[in-house]
A and B are shown apart, each in its own frame.
Chain A
């Protein structure tokens, strides 16, 4: 077509844009140090771009995503080929007229039914079981889980641990002090004496972690991409999700719901440790009363 002739300069311009923008991407594989702490894992690698998966259930989510994208690409390419072929074959030219009679096509109907059936399979066969397993079926005490309360605030994550007695102390807003008692733990409650609050999420490897999530002020969202978990932190509600790390390392927790001007910096570190390292850390942290350790930020 004539239009192709005028495209040459455009193609050059496009290529320049692409090179300028994409060049930094090529060769970007391992995670760089975004602070003075080294973060483990691979991020943004072709072809899936997905972060490292260090969780027990992540594989299920990833499988669903892969199947979905293959399905989507197959549909788009197949449909796209037919589309471009039509544009070429039925372009207006001398001697060619359109066909008034409407083609009686059975194929679209069968294709539509096939697509609908496949979507139903994805929903009932994959998404619903995975959702039930990952979100709603919490581990029981027999699985020896770790219990942590996650309390989001503008603009930090607070991880409240129950300490050696395994029981959380009572909390109330009137006891809140931003520095000494951010969780508002009732000082008269003996169960709260061994509780502690950390700005870092420490978890032992190969044990389920049950997090009970809430917020002090606005809606935040507790998101750990390498665990394939995400849960909104809604004030006034306490919502439980669980995950199980399968590999040690240092990773990141992000906030995934706009929460104000420092939403972008609401980042916490997650340290997955061996059982012994984890226990040592718990003992170290529990030495004082429920205190916000500035060094842990």
Chain B
């Protein structure tokens, strides 16, 4: 089936900028997201200087930024080249916001999901191509608003990506921009998730039953339901916070607030905890939005590079559905320290323990897939394999946080930062890198360099552990999060050596990305050309040309078998693609 559009010759704008083709939109999402990831990483590299060498002027940037942004900005935010506490807090809040909402989710859902999913189900495009384009541009606008907020009077939002009230309600203008940006980003997500669900249900090729779908598609399917149902309460909360800030309402403001000796003029009667409940109701499913597509990506790569079927495919599908459902029931484990009684904390601790089970099942199935396989160690596989122990560390360190009694010592310390970064950074972001190395040939028709790729992996793997492992030690020692200067406390001062270690690890990690950036851009023009199926893979995207044309497939594919038929006995090749009818 070819799209009737192919008869027309669109100009540059319609083909590359305002395209409704899911592949163009997928690349737009991925490239925009990678740029935001890089920006968010740069914010953190500057923060790590202040953490390692508090009160010392930042080299180069300490002079350059005031020159770029003006004397006033320099005096307020970087007097003498030293980052101010306000700037530090706004970098912290924006680092989290940008990485999660402008970086990781748009990359793994908007980028990989949009590009790969329709190909894997044998569809010519998404169900609603124009809606798809709209969701990208709403995301882009949200990103612009977020970046612009750095130039609002008082700087960008600085109340953490969690924006707890009343701090966020009394904060400077940047917080309002943050709220507007979030409304745009949430809208983009909602439009996208509707598209994904309808496409997966309605546009599967003939023979592609739900249990013949690649696991990647199942992961995107569950993720879309999480986005669809969990985001709206945060949108509601965002509207309420905007009302508190702009219209003087008291949704989150209790009576009798006294700020800097001045009694605040709010009617009162509101509840700061209401914000936390509404926020975490989204934000907990959000972390599963961050991990599920990553599981999807590495599952494809592991199955392909072990040359055998996935172990426990159905178990993995049921686990991921159960995980999605349970993720709505654990949110208040972020709120154990808010004065919770025994019964409520027991409820949320129980659901939190329960949700660890499907995660372990997913890891176990992937691990057993390796058993009796024939494992190839290309760059994509190196990143996918290292995801497993890194996610394991992240998941295991969730246990002391999920039990209320141990959480007393660890809540709001660096232990939490170590925990979630292990899951997202050497977890999801490594999965995203794996996906780039794996699908780059499909998107561009050329391979990336394996040599540069392996160097990228090796240095990133070492550096990322140097950054985050010490954070568990710091958390156990009692070092709190979000501290501009940790050394004012005895425990912070005692652990300052580890802080310096983490910072050098972060800068080394930044340097290691040069291998990737060089590889990515040079391979677009200079990479070795490939045909449709360089990895000898079985799923449908590998039967389309590299890159696929508008409409994806020359003729509508028909699916004849399960997605991971590798090393089938009696065949001359060790892979049996889904769309090939006879051996």
A–B: direct contact at CB < 8 Å: yes
Is A277 part of the contact surface with B, judged by Cβ < 8 Å?
no
Query: Which of B349, B503, B574 counts the most A-chain CB atoms under 10 A from its CB?
Result: B349
Give chain A's interface secondary structure class.
mixed
CA gap between A94 and B473 in the complex, in Å: 44
In the complex, are the beta carbons of A174 and B263 less than 8 A apart?
Answer: yes
A281 / chain B contacts, CB cutoff of 8 Å: none
B339 / chain A contacts, CB cutoff of 8 Å: 231-232, 234, 237, 239
CA gap between A1 and B378 in the complex, in Å: 12
Give chain B's interface secondary structure class.
helix
Closest beta carbon of chain A to B295's beta carbon, Å: 16
B556 / chain A contacts, CB cutoff of 8 Å: none
Closest beta carbon of chain B to A257's beta carbon, Å: 6
Is B350 part of the contact surface with A, judged by Cβ < 8 Å?
yes
B393 / chain A contacts, CB cutoff of 8 Å: 76
Q: Which of B272, B385, B392 contacts A234 (CB 8 A)?
A: B272
Instruction: Give the nearest-CB partner of A217 in chain B.
Output: B259
Is A75 part of the contact surface with B, judged by Cβ < 8 Å?
yes
CA gap between A119 and B360 in the complex, in Å: 13
Quick one: given A1-B377, A24-B496, are A264 and B342 in contact (CB under 8 Å)? Answer: no
B259 / chain A contacts, CB cutoff of 8 Å: 154, 216-218
Q: Which of B268, B357, B388, B501 contacts A17 (CB 8 A)?
A: B501
In the complex, are the beta carbons of B466 and A17 less than 8 A apart?
Answer: yes
Instruction: Give the nearest-CB partner of B393 in chain A.
Output: A76
Quick one: given A68-B406, A173-B258, A217-B257, are A43 and B377 in contact (CB under 8 Å)? Answer: no
CA gap between A131 and B411 in the complex, in Å: 14
Q: Which of B356, B406, B462 contacts A65 (CB 8 A)?
A: B406
In the complex, are the beta carbons of B405 and A217 less than 8 A apart?
Answer: no
In the complex, are the beta carbons of B367 and A82 less than 8 A apart?
Answer: yes
In the complex, are the beta carbons of B486 and A232 less than 8 A apart?
Answer: no
CA gap between A225 and B484 in the complex, in Å: 19
In the complex, are the beta carbons of B566 and A98 less than 8 A apart?
Answer: yes
B255 / chain A contacts, CB cutoff of 8 Å: 236
Is B85 part of the contact surface with A, judged by Cβ < 8 Å?
yes
A1-26 residues at the B interface, CB under 8 angstroms:
1, 3, 6-7, 10, 13-14, 17-18, 20-26
Closest beta carbon of chain A to B360's beta carbon, Å: 6
Closest beta carbon of chain B to A262's beta carbon, Å: 6
Is B166 part of the contact surface with A, judged by Cβ < 8 Å?
yes
Instruction: Give the nearest-CB partner of B465 in chain A.
Output: A14
Q: Which of A61, A135, A219, A228 contacts B167 (CB 8 A)?
A: A219
Is A102 part of the contact surface with B, judged by Cβ < 8 Å?
yes
Is A287 part of the contact surface with B, judged by Cβ < 8 Å?
no
Closest beta carbon of chain B to A88's beta carbon, Å: 9
Closest beta carbon of chain A to B281's beta carbon, Å: 18
B374 / chain A contacts, CB cutoff of 8 Å: 90-92, 96-98
Is A260 part of the contact surface with B, judged by Cβ < 8 Å?
yes
A229 / chain B contacts, CB cutoff of 8 Å: 408
Query: Which of B159, B478, B574 counts the most A-chain CB atoms under 10 A from its CB?
Result: B478
In the complex, are the beta carbons of B170 and A217 less than 8 A apart?
Answer: yes
Contact with A along B487-519 (1 / 0, CB 8 A): 111110111111011111100100000000000
B120-164 residues at the A interface, CB under 8 angstroms:
158-160, 164
Is B249 part of the contact surface with A, judged by Cβ < 8 Å?
no
Quick one: given A22-B501, A102-B311, are A219 and B272 in contact (CB under 8 Å)? Answer: yes
Q: Which chain A residues have a beta carbon within 8 Å of chain B's beta carbons?
A: 1, 3, 6-7, 10, 13-14, 17-18, 20-26, 28-29, 31-32, 34-35, 39, 41, 43-44, 48-51, 60-62, 64-65, 68-69, 71-72, 75-76, 79-80, 82-83, 86-87, 90-92, 96-100, 102-103, 105, 108, 111-112, 115-116, 119-120, 122-123, 126-128, 130-132, 134-136, 153-154, 172-174, 176-178, 184, 216-219, 221, 223, 225, 228-232, 234-237, 239, 252, 254-265, 267
Give 16 pairs: A residue, B residue, CB < 8 Å, sorted on A: A21-B498, A43-B491, A49-B476, A51-B490, A86-B367, A86-B373, A90-B373, A98-B373, A103-B368, A119-B356, A128-B404, A154-B259, A184-B258, A221-B411, A235-B166, A235-B254
Q: Which chain B residues have a beta carbon within 8 Å of chain A's beta carbons?
A: 84-86, 89, 158-160, 164-167, 170, 254-261, 263, 268, 270-273, 306-309, 311, 337-339, 341-342, 345-346, 349-350, 353, 356-357, 360-361, 364, 367-368, 370-377, 385, 388-389, 392-393, 396-397, 399-400, 403-406, 408-413, 454-455, 458-459, 462-463, 466, 473-474, 476-478, 480-491, 493-498, 500-505, 508, 566-569, 574
Supply 11 further A-B pairs (C-beta < 8 A) apart from A34-B489, A76-B392. A22-B497, A25-B497, A44-B491, A65-B410, A79-B367, A92-B375, A119-B356, A123-B346, A225-B409, A236-B270, A257-B164
